[in-house]
Amino acid sequence: MAKAKADKKQVTEVKILPPNFKTVEFTIRGTTPYVQNAFSAKARGQIKETQEKGSQAKKGRKREPKDFKALMEQGKHISEEGWNGIPAPAFRNAAISACRICGFAMTRAKLTIFVEPDGFDRNDFTPLVKITKGKPIYSEHHVRLETGVCDIRPRPMWGPGWEAKVKIRFDLDQFSVQDVSSLMVRVGLQVGIGEGRPDSKKSCGMGWGMFKVCGK
């Protein structure tokens, strides 16, 4: 009588650990000017109007004079409560970009590090980190458009010494507190935030948006 062979199935046990997140707050102080250029509600409205008119958009259209002071004001990110803020994604994107220097995969960093906002932009609900020290001043600089034409752009600028408190939420199974602290230091020294930052996609920047970490 032949012995029946037992059908042995290999069972692999998978353990998914619960999320292990921690939040650390960093106080940062600008060592160079911070410049921002929010996409204003007026600009969105003008683009929408042009697209709705289609081929008739340019017929008989007159070029309106520029109100430089108004354009500067429209370039600010202002919260629903009325304070000035920095887009929270700017810090998250900068930290992820800094991972290239440290040899940590950016694709993993996207799932590892986040920035908790203090509020939201009153126009488009962009998550914002509150600027706790410093007031914006009017600034204008020439820019080179993609067509090669030179243009003047007015933008709000915060001088060196501006401050903010950035709350970083991260995965403790991927990063330690020291890792995140080092990333923030590198963001302030090598990456920057806002317009004219060293890590700008279209240029080498103006050296703006640099900061130092004062504490956590």
Domain that holds residue 81: 21-37+67-215
**Residue 26 included in any domain:** yes
**Residue 48 included in any domain:** no
- Three-state DSSP state, 130: strand
- pLDDT band with cut points at 50, 70 and 90 for residue 1: very low
**Residue 1 included in any domain:** no
The region that residue 161 occupies, defined by phi over 0 for left and psi between -120 and 50 for alpha, beta otherwise, is: left
**Residue 71 included in any domain:** yes
**Residue 52 included in any domain:** no
What's the number of domains the chain is made of?
Answer: 1
Which range among 27-31, 43-47, 69-73, 145-149 has the greatest average pLDDT? 27-31
**Residue 4 included in any domain:** no
Residue 62 structure tokens = 């007159």
DSSP letter at 125 equals -
The predicted structure's pLDDT at residue 42: 47
Q: For the chain, give me the number of helices (H) and strands (E)?
A: 5, 10
DSSP code per residue over 17-33: PPP-EEEEEEEEEESS-
Sorted by sequence, the CB contacts under 8 Å of residue 63 that are 6+ apart come out as: none
| Nearest residue to 22 (alpha-carbon basis) of 197, 187, 179 | 179
- pLDDT band with cut points at 50, 70 and 90 for residue 137: very high
**Residue 203 included in any domain:** yes
Q: How far apart are CA 137 and CA 131, in angstroms?
A: 14
Residue 207 identity (one-letter amino acid) = G
